[in-house]
Amino acid sequence: MTVRLNLRTLFLDHSAALGGAELYLLDLAPAFAPPGEVLLLEEGPFYEKLRAAGIPADVITAPEAVRRVAREAGPFRALRAVPGLLRLAWRVARKARAFDLIYANSQKALVVGSLAAQMARRPLVWNLHDVLTTEHFSAMNIRLAVTLANRFARLLIANSEASKAAFLEAGGRVPVVVVHNGIDVERFAAVDPEQVAALRRELGLRDGPVVGLFSRLAPWKGQHVLLEALAELPEVQAILVGEALFQDEQLYAEQLRKRAAQPDLEGRVHFLGFRDDVPMLMQLVDVVVHTSVAPEPFGRVIVEGMLARRPVIATRGGGAVEIVRDGETGLLVPPGDAQALAAAIRHLLEHPDQARQLAEAGSQDARHRFSIEAMRKGVHQALAALQEA
């Protein structure tokens, strides 16, 4: 049963791409909208998903100078964006006056939302989906985010203890509540084996074991680590589900494809791009791997792999260690260690009974701890406490 809060919430997100934060909001918003609404700063697939799901959504397009400010942006680019940022914040503030709360769902949304909240005289909540370290962001962007949160946010909702700890270490002083992401359990219910077999033929997979990595193509996501592990596993194929989202990731994606075309990997690595049939694709694989070389804020695909009853191997660090109990619900390996990853994959393939035990235990644990209703309840309680304060 969906819990609802009598609080008109304006969810603000800068992106219309389907990243982890946007998928989170797609699951969270139905508990609040209507009367709440999602406001995006660009049009794209996420906007279409919201509308298809019957979630009230609107777009106020951000100026080009604002959209170009990246995680690693320097002060000059940021300064050029200020005039457009002020105009954008004013437009958001005008809309926010019809709501009780602005809920910023990204760092760019925090910047815009901080200004808009002051203009509209509305409280601001920031949902932190990132680990604020220099492995992910420039020092300037970290300082800006923490300063804005300390100055303007009433509450911060973090998606993991790792995200919370990084925020506090960076100087955060706002009250922080940890609410882990929730995943739609029903999407990962048992699927028709004949459909799975047909999909395998469609993708041109040969007989033999297959591992799956489900993530956008980005250096810190570590797809290159899997490719090097595959070089030690000549009988194993891999599917890579996801694509580069940002311009600086395009070169990395090209490098991955070049490496996969080399003789030792040729024909064994399948790049599938973005897909809507992830639950079905996970049924194709013998092992789901997670290879991030920097701390993961949460690790949504780890939970999805567990819900799909696949044995999961994840990188030790960040939110992943809050999801996987090493040796009980999955396996953890050091970040960036291709040999350790290859050894873990080989171990699971050679010990199918243990792999099944891990998969079953992982599924039960994920269903209990990471449901959508548990996530909605956590956010509901946090906002209710804010409303009563």
CA torsion sign for 334, 300, 237, 190 is positive
The structural domain count of the chain equals 2
Answer yes or no: do 140 and 191 share one domain.
no
Say whether 77 sits in a helix, a strand or coil.
helix
Report the CATH number at residue 336.
3.40.50.2000
Which H or E run includes 9?
strand 9-13
Answer yes or no: do 19 and 137 share one domain.
yes
What pLDDT score was predicted for residue 82?
73
Place of tokens 């092992």: 287
Query: Domain containing 213: what range?
Result: 185-369
CA torsion sign for 255, 258, 263, 269 is positive
Answer yes or no: do 227 and 190 share one domain.
yes
Which H or E run includes 124?
strand 124-128
Residue 321 placed within a domain: yes
What pLDDT score was predicted for residue 248?
79
Answer yes or no: do 173 and 195 share one domain.
no
How far is Cα 116 from Cα 11, in angstroms, rounded to an integer? Answer: 12
Question: For the chain, what is the total number of helices (H) and then of strands (E)?
Answer: 17, 13
What pLDDT score was predicted for residue 159?
96
Answer yes or no: do 153 and 171 share one domain.
yes
What pLDDT score was predicted for residue 186?
87
Answer yes or no: do 202 and 314 share one domain.
yes
β-strands 269-273, 237-241 pairing: parallel
Answer yes or no: do 17 and 109 share one domain.
yes
What pLDDT score was predicted for residue 74?
46
Q: What is the DSSP string of 213-246?
A: EES---GGGTHHHHHHHHTT-TT-EEEEEB---S
Residue 80 placed within a domain: yes
Answer yes or no: do 203 and 94 share one domain.
no
Q: What is the pLDDT of residues 178-234, one digit of tens each?
A: 999 999 888 888 788 899 999 999 999 999 999 999 999 999 999 999 999 999 999
What pLDDT score was predicted for residue 3?
46
Answer yes or no: do 194 and 309 share one domain.
yes
Q: How many CB atoms lie within 10 A of CB 289?
A: 30
Q: How many CB atoms lie within 10 A of CB 74?
A: 11
Regions of the chain short of the pLDDT cut 70: 1-6, 65-81, 389
How far is Cα 80 from Cα 363, in angstroms, rounded to an integer? Answer: 49
